[in-house]
Amino acid sequence: MDKLSKLAFERLPMPLATGQHRLDYRVITLPPLPTLYLLLLPLPLVVHIVLNILMLLMPLVSNWIRICL
């Protein structure tokens, strides 16, 4: 009985505490990382598209400037 009570005392609080801490850490650490990655992943694509649009619009803008001047 003494060994069983020691095992129960040692085993029960620890998994509960670690499980709660793990859950808390998961709640704290996991959501920001995917959101950051989701925000950062399309950035090169957005920059690429914006630069391409600017490159396509540059001749038009230069023509408008020539016409206006």
Across the range 32-54, mean pLDDT stands at 80
pLDDT at 51 over 90: yes
**pLDDT band with cut points at 50, 70 and 90 for residue 64:** confident
**Radius of gyration of the chain, Cα coordinates, nearest whole angstrom:** 30
Instruction: Tell me the pLDDT band of 20, cut-offs 50, 70 and 90.
Output: low
> Which residue shows structure tokens 């914006």?
50
Residue type present at position 44: P
Domains of the chain, by residue range, sit at 1-30, 42-69
E strand or H helix at 42: none
Question: pLDDT value at position 65?
Answer: 86
Could you tell me the pLDDT band of residue 38, with boundaries at 50, 70 and 90? confident
Cα→Cα distances 14→8, 32, 40, 47, Å: 10, 28, 38, 50
